[in-house]
Amino acid sequence: MKAVIGIGTNIGDRKNNIDKAIDALGLVPYINVIRCASVYETAPWGYTEQANFYNTVVEVETTRSPEMLLGVCLGIETGMGRVREFKNGPRIVDLDLLVYEGCESNTENLQLPHSRIGERDFVLIPLKELYQDMNILGFDYSEEYENIIENSTAKII
């Protein structure tokens, strides 16, 4: 199955953090990184008194379940030193499982597709690179993209 993972960072060497997270995903058995969008610099979302973020999305192919893939993402975050001090706060790395092909979930631990994709330019803009029609593994975000693009300050680095 294919899945899409969002990656963001705003602490330290942001570009290196993104690269390390992608490399780490590629080292996990049964996960193959297929393609990556460009990296974008974006303003913080939610809590705004912090440095700008670098963000990208990656498409992976995996035989792991959505729950296992989420666990891999959380493990990479921990391994890279992420500390969750408060919601939407600064972070060395954040990996969000955005979409998993053929799967919808609305549990406490896993919402698929991710519940806030349509609100976030730092997700929609890199997704547009990988999915020109904004049909992301069976989920259409073309309207959300059109609604958010004109007010976006995201810039490719």
Kindly list the catalytic residues: 82, 91, 94, 96
> How far is the C-alpha of 123 from the C-alpha of 39, rounded, in Å?
11
CB neighbours of 75 closer than 8 A, spacing ≥ 6? none
**Backbone torsion region of residue 126, taken as left when φ is above 0, otherwise alpha when ψ lies between -120 and 50, otherwise beta:** alpha
Rounded to a whole number of angstroms, the CA Rg of the chain reads 14
DSSP state, residue 38: P
